[in-house]
Amino acid sequence: MQQKNLKLQRRRLSVLPIIQETIDHIGLGQLLNQSLGNKRYSAALLVMLKNVLLERGALYRIGDWAKEF
């Protein structure tokens, strides 16, 4: 039996692509932009929504959480 040089790589998998696709499909980002009139506020709300759906981390740790993605 031949043995190949294999490397083990650690990858973090999550449902974020599915959540993002759903947000895009229903147009939530555009709806928030229209409702709030401020793209930065709507982007912040979307980040918090994703955080709650994925891990429910504390608000003060959202910056660290978002760096992973």
Tens-digit pLDDT profile for residues 10-57: 877 778 889 999 999 999 999 999 999 999 999 989 988 988 888 776
CA dihedral 53, 14, 67, 65 (to 10 degrees): 40
* The predicted structure's pLDDT at residue 10: 81
Integer CA distances (angstroms), 2 to 5, 7, 8, in order: 10, 16, 18
- CB within 8 A of 30, min separation 6: which ones? none
pLDDT number for residue 57:
64
pLDDT of amino acid 69: 65
Which of 28, 69, 24, 61 has the alpha carbon at shortest distance from 45?
28
Residue 1, pLDDT above cutoff 60 = no
